[in-house]
Amino acid sequence: MEDFFTLIKNRRTIRQFQPEEIPTNILLELADLGRLAPSASNLQPLEFLLVNDQTVRQKVFAGLRWAAYINPAGNPKPGQEPTAYIVILVNTEIRKEGYQHDVGASAENIILGAFTQGIGSCWLISIDRDRLRNALDIPEKYLIDSVLALGYPAEKPVIEDFKGSVKYWKDETEVLHVPKRKLEEVVHLNRYGQRIKN
């Protein structure tokens, strides 16, 4: 159990990647983790489009928007782009509303599964959906929810205590600092406002 807690605590979003390719069988395993996530009413409206072909990757990359707080410093540098993507699709013939919880559970399964394989990820929702639909031949009945950018990390972001701003930043050595609210600021015990005393 402690290893799982450590896994979650050490996971950070990655936006700079090594050029090493991710094997297709690992991408399939990650999609399987997404498939097995909880689904409201067990309707299972999600599908996963795996992208690892270099030419197709370039088309996907062109439709993504990265790290608004530190744009353009948060964009992957040339040669440090993701080496794979998983596009999360929603089949609207199965579910048109209320699928967001399914997506969240599925994406987190994939993100954590990737991290156990040494693969970094960035979950992107700021995307040009029309461009992706055309580039990937996605039928109209599918809603493009989000994109998981994947690759072996070329950076090591660190957590900072929240000090009035959620905006992340890069220091002079290009290390990304990510503010997080403290546990005691977000946890209530038995009723709102009652804090846990250490």
pLDDT at position 78, please?
Answer: 95
Crossing angle for the helix pair 100-116 and 2-10, to the nearest 10 degrees:
100
Is pLDDT larger for residue 60 or for residue 163?
60
- Domain co-membership, 134 together with 151: yes
- Domain co-membership, 79 together with 107: yes
- Domain co-membership, 77 together with 113: yes
Across 131-141, average pLDDT: 98
If one counts the domains in the chain, the total is: 2
% the chain with pLDDT above 90: 76
- Domain co-membership, 175 together with 151: no
- Domain co-membership, 92 together with 33: yes
Per residue in 14-60, pLDDT (tens digit) is 999 999 999 999 999 999 999 999 999 999 999 999 999 999 999 99
| Whether the predicted model's global pTM rises above the 0.75 cut | yes
Q: Which domain holds residue 193?
A: 157-198
Phi-psi region of 67 (alpha: psi -120 to 50; beta: other; left: phi over 0): left
Output the domain CATH number for residue 195.
Answer: 2.20.180.10
- Domain co-membership, 172 together with 75: no
- Domain co-membership, 151 together with 179: no
- Domain co-membership, 164 together with 142: no
- Domain co-membership, 120 together with 174: no
pLDDT at position 96, please?
Answer: 94
Output the domain CATH number for residue 113.
Answer: 3.40.109.10
Cα–Cα distance between 158 and 160 in angstroms, integer?
7
pLDDT at position 72, please?
Answer: 83
SS3 call for 120: strand
Using a 10 angstrom Cβ sphere, with 0-12 exposed, 13-18 middle and 19 or more buried, the burial of residue 91 is middle
- Domain co-membership, 138 together with 185: no
- Domain co-membership, 125 together with 197: no
pLDDT at position 71, please?
Answer: 83
- Domain co-membership, 162 together with 150: no
